[in-house]
Amino acid sequence: MLQLKGKSAVVTGGSRGIGRSIAINLARLGASVAVNYTSNSAAAEETVKEITGSGGKAIAIAANVAQAQQANTLIESAAEQFGTVHILVNSAGITRDGLLMRMKDEEWQQVIQTNLTGVFNCTRAVSRIMLKQRWGRIVNISSIVGIKGNAGQANYCASKAGVIGFTKAAAKELGSRGITVNAIAPGYIQTDMTGKLPQSARDEMLSRVLLGRPGRPEDVAWLAAFLSSDLSSYITGQIISVDGGIVM
Ligand code: NAP
């Protein structure tokens, strides 16, 4: 049965959207969860309240994952609070869309630094703990546009393609110590991130979804829970799309 009793997890970007749903789901299955965010403390507290209100265990930890020192402190604080960290879900992510011809240096750097370097920073920090305990689950949230590209998102697509390469390399380095590393590539999921896109862009994405509806954060959260559990112990280095059938 899918359960995570006795496990502790860090979910980066766990305060909103896909990360929030993953954090709530992991806690519902019995894990203690550190809900990471960078600036919106109200959303993080609300997520923690939702978990603790249903009898789960959660704390909010502010940290900008793009900064190595803050990522180290995030993992150390969670390990201190819960005794260790068994599960890391790297969900923190941002977009700064624009045509590459006009893309500013800082738009490129912010996205790479948060979406790709952030995954490296947190994974490096947690790997020290997981290697010692010879058990770990790392789930990276990539994107289908990291597989197929998307006009107007050169920075974002590069960061998400980078996460795919990183996932495979980390799986190869850590597999012999009982640590699995997988990535989920969501398609069009209804969150604040996609809510700010123009209606025409959302309609266009929807037209390519075989199942005829946008994804919900829970659609991603169930796969993340499975990949965080003992049930997925023979799956590593995989990139699994949750996209209603866009990529096949
Ligand atoms: P969202 O609703 O905008 O939430 C983003 C989350 O990331 C928030 O909790 C935010 O914290 C946090 N965050 C942003 N920058 C951070 C940083 N530097 N350090 C720590 N936390 C940071 O986004 P979402 O749609 O749920 O996306 C979650 C992940 O899924 C992202 O990696 C995204 O690229 C990926 N994804 C999303 C879709 C989609 O359709 N929505 C599709 C494919 C992939 P604050 O609240 O403090 O800002």
- What are 71's two structure tokens? 């990522």
What DSSP state is assigned to residue 183? E
**For ligand 1, what atom is nearest to the CA of residue 145?**
43
- pLDDT digits over 166-188, tens only? 999 999 999 999 999 999 999 99
In a domain, 24, yes or no: yes
CATH code of the domain containing 66: 3.40.50.720
Q: Are 188 and 141 in contact (CB under 8 A)?
A: no
In a domain, 1, yes or no: no
Span from the CA of 2 to the centroid of ligand 1 (angstroms): 25
Does 43 sit in the ligand 1 pocket, CB within 6 Å?
yes
Euclidean distance between the first and the last CA atom of the chain, given in angstroms as a whole number:
29
At residue 51, the pLDDT reads 98
Which residue range(s) make up the domain with 199?
8-242
Residue closest by Cα to atom 10 of ligand 1 = 13
Q: Decide: pTM greater than 0.85.
A: yes
- In whole angstroms, give the CA distance from residue 141 to residue 187: 11
Does 232 sit in the ligand 1 pocket, CB within 6 Å?
no
- Give the 3-state secondary structure of residue 18: helix
In a domain, 113, yes or no: yes
At residue 80, the pLDDT reads 98
- 94-121 residues labelled b (16+ CB within 10 A) or e (exposed): bbbbeeeeebeeebbebbbbbbbbbbbb
Structural domain total, the chain: 1
**For ligand 1, what atom is nearest to the CA of residue 160?**
34
Span from the CA of 141 to the centroid of ligand 1 (angstroms): 9
Rounded to the nearest 5°, which phi and psi values hold at 140? -100, 135
Q: What is the mean pLDDT of each run of 10 residues along the chain (248 residues)?
A: 97 98 98 98 98 98 98 98 98 98 98 99 98 98 98 98 99 98 98 95 95 98 98 98 96
Residue closest by Cα to atom 46 of ligand 1 = 40
At residue 204, the pLDDT reads 93
